[in-house]
Amino acid sequence: NVLCWLETYYGSKWRFLEHKGPVFAPPYEPMPDKVKFFYDGKPMKLSAPAEEVATFFAKMLEHEYTTKDIFRKNFFKDWRKEMTPEEKSKITDLNKCDFSDMSAFFKAQSEARKQMSKEEKQKIKEENERILQEYGFCIMDNHKERIGNFRIEPPGLFRGRGDHPKMGMLKRRIRPQDIIINCSKDSKIPKAPPGTKWKEVRHDNKVTWLVSWTENIQGSIKYIMLNPSSRIKGEKDWQKYETARRLKKCVDRIRNQYREDWKSKEMRIRQRAVALYFIDKLALRAGNEKEEGETADTVGCCSLRVEHIKLYPKMDDQEYVVEFDFLGKDSIRYYNKIPVEKRVFKNLQLFLENKQPEDDLFDRLNTSILNKHLQELMDGLTAKVFRTYNASITLQQQLKQLTTGDDSVPAKILSYNRANRAVAILCNHQRAPPKTFEKSMQNLQTKIDDKQSQLSTARKQLKAAKADHKASHDEKSKKIEEQLMKLQMQATDREENKQIALGTSKLNYLDPRISVAWCKKYGIPIEKIYNKTQREKFAWAIDMAEKDYEF
DNA sequence: CTTTTGACTTGCCGAGAGTACG
DNA sequence: CGTACTCTCGGCAAGTCAAAAG
């Protein structure tokens, strides 16, 4: 409609926005006097600010990273900033600090929480529900919408992922004077807590956030935004998949183009073309440059270094094999050996010439150059669209290949999960094997064994009673067979999923309409594929996709 | 042009809610 | 009815990418 078009055209995201502002972290509660901190073996009463920071460390004492040098160094430096001059002069060595009493106190506290009576737990639940009702919703353009994260992050010690140079630094407490509120001029402006003021109240309908503040570790801005079920997020999500579908229409042209570019006279074009080939074929991320020393050393495609690939002209029975080994987003290792076209291989050899291991593989390329090129190839095309496109097309193709019409429902679910798994592997979505994995596999096996003996018992009974109650016993063993089958499917699924995380691709890369269509086509209840939150997020797709939808 | 900032998506993990089980 | 396991959901870090600033 015209209004919608106008909004898009002028970049406004809403006309009316009203909300109650954020919920702050609860204030610090000082330790009871009986809980001691010891320095150099002697008890020492800390000032409230120093004590608070000490409790952050105490709460993490069990974790391995409190033993790491960088963590301890960063923590100690920031902790000292919170100390009084006296404390500062006395506490000079972290190794002489004993937090164990504090740690034990917190452990007991959390134990006590678990042991609370049903009534007490209910009371807490009700209070949370009340806060949710009050602060968890906003009005955006005539609709009541759920807010994603309406609570401000509490203070604590920063723990980045991987080898983060800033691990252990103090993440400071956010106060009202740090907060920027964004809402309509004509809405009820949220009130700052008594005696405080917001940093700023603005009325910017070119953005979707309701609240923002600047975080002190990286100096980046944090936002409070709407829940994925909201109109504004849903439309954006839908747009994303439509862009990926447009790529589907011209991907052949683009592939031919970059294959041509492998032969270009210009180095920058050949580098661009090889990088794009990796992004397309291997679903690598773009790989922005990162400031050294500010974050963990991770890379994506454009930021790959010489040390991250190895070339093998021959490997076993394959030619022109490239071995990738690097840390990607969240310091997750990407390891892959793939045979490539001879031209790609020759190009890579050329890119490596006269370089040190720590030099950039693509020295004439960055994400900005790449995305500008992509934009010229297709409106709205960027590196990440390839991930979305390849993920979704893989799911669709795998579902077609793996689903058998007359399979049972559990068998079809297994097929679905396998298709999903193919995507997760492509996108390198890994997880640490669950701590209880072996145990849980064992439990499942026990259930299978039980079921199997149940089945043989039932079959014996059937034989014995063949003459009279044939029908009912036959039905009984059939039911047990089904249950057994279901358990076996579950076991296979779980085993195959040991180190693979399906959630990320399901939530971010797979056009939900593919899954909805598949469910409709094979009569699978959508609940088997999407849980409640996911159904809320994908409501738009559940509404619109028919059984013949094609990505 | 390069660098920085801002807004938004993507990603893994752990706490605790929910559920099955003895 | 408590315990043990599973699953969901939120937390928040870490990416992408465009636009503004220098």
Residue nearest to nucleotide C4 (CA to C1'): A440
Mean pLDDT of A445-457: 73
| Residue A444: pLDDT band with limits 50, 70, 90 | confident
pLDDT, average across residues A37-48: 95
> Where does the pLDDT of residue A2 fall: very low under 50, low under 70, confident under 90, or very high at 90 and above?
low
Checking if the pLDDT of A373 tops 90, the result is yes
N-terminal to C-terminal alpha carbon distance within chain A: 24
Q: Has residue A10 got a pLDDT over 80?
A: no
The percent of residues in chain A predicted with pLDDT above 70, rounded, is: 95
At A395, which helix (H) or strand (E)?
Answer: helix A383-402
Is A509 designated active site? Answer: yes
Higher pLDDT: A462 or A311? It is A311
Which protein residues have a C-beta closer than 7 A to any atom of strand B?
A: A 13, 110, 113, 121, 124-125, 204, 206-209, 212, 219-221, 223, 225, 233, 236-237, 240, 285, 291, 329-330, 332, 368, 384, 387-388, 427-432, 447, 501, 503-505, 508-509
Q: Is the pLDDT of residue A406 over 60?
A: yes
pLDDT over 90 (residue A398): yes
Distance CA A450, CA A324 (A): 45
- A4-13, A106-115, A389-398, A448-457: which is most confident: A389-398
CA of A440 to C1' of B21 (A): 14
Nucleotide minimizing C1' to CA distance for residue A442: C5
- A9 class by beta-carbon count within 10 Å (0-12 exposed, 13-18 middle, 19+ buried): exposed
Q: Positive or negative, the Cα torsion across A32, A37, A38, A39?
A: negative
* Amino acid whose CA is nearest the C1' of C13: A160
CA–C1' nearest nucleotide, residue A239 = B9
* pLDDT at residue A110 in the model: 83
How much is the average pLDDT of A334-357? Answer: 96
Tell me the nt nearest to A288, Cα to C1': C16
pLDDT over 70 (residue A465): no
Paired tokens of A463 = 């034989």
Nucleic strand C near CB of residue A527 (< 7 Å): no
State the number of CA atoms in the 13 A half-sphere of A465 facing the CB: 16
A255 CA to C6 C1' in angstroms comes to 44
pLDDT of residue A466: 62
Kindly report which amino acid residue has its CA closest to the C1' atom of nucleotide B8: A208
Report the pLDDT value the prediction gives residue A174, as an integer from 0 to 100: 96
pLDDT at A379: 94
Shortest-distance nucleotide from A441 CA to C1': C5
Q: Is the predicted pLDDT of residue A396 greater than 60, yes or no?
A: yes
**In chain A, residues 203 through 242 whose Cβ sits under 7 angstroms from any atom of nucleic acid strand C:** 215, 217-218, 220
What does the pLDDT look like over A260-275, one tens digit per residue? 999 999 999 999 999 9
Question: Cβ–Cβ contacts within 10 Å for residue A377, how many?
Answer: 15
Confidence bin at A449 (pLDDT 50/70/90): confident
Q: Specify whether the CB–CB gap between A166 and A158 falls below 8 A.
A: yes
Q: Which of A23-27, A65-69, A116-120, A513-517 has the lowest mean pLDDT?
A: A116-120
Task: Check whether residue A403 has its CB closer than 7 Å to nucleic acid strand C.
Answer: no
A133-147 per-position pLDDT tens digit: 999 999 999 999 999
How many Cα atoms within 13 Å fall on the side-chain side of residue A519?
17
Tell me: pLDDT of A1 over 50.
no
CA of A402 to C1' of C18 (A): 40
As a rounded value in angstroms, the CA-to-C1' distance for A52 and B17 is 29
Q: Quick: pLDDT tens for A65-106.
A: 899 999 999 999 999 999 999 999 999 999 999 999 999 998
Look at residue A117 in the predicted model and tell me its pLDDT: 76
Q: Which residue is nearest to nucleotide B16 (CA to C1')?
A: A114
From the CA of A510 to the C1' of C19: give the distance in Å. 29
pLDDT of residue A98: 95
pLDDT at A4: 57
pTM of the model: 0.91
Q: What is the mean pLDDT of residues A275-290?
A: 96
A42: part of which helix (H) or strand (E)? strand A42-44
Q: CB-side exposure of A477: number of CA atoms within 13 Å?
A: 18
Note the pLDDT tens digit of each residue in A221-257: 999 999 999 999 999 999 999 999 999 999 999 999 9
- Answer yes or no: is A162 CB < 7 A from strand C: yes
In the predicted structure, residue A108 carries a pLDDT above the cut 90: no
From the candidates A135, A258, A509, A530, give the one annotated as an active-site residue: A509
At residue A391, the pLDDT reads 96
Predicted confidence (pLDDT) at residue A471 exceeds the cutoff of 60: no
Give strand letter and number of the nucleotide nearest A221 (CA to C1'). Answer: B6
Task: Kindly indicate the confidence band of residue A453, based on its pLDDT and cuts at 50, 70 and 90.
Answer: confident
Residue A298 has pLDDT above 60, yes or no: yes
Task: Give the pLDDT mean for A192-197.
Answer: 95
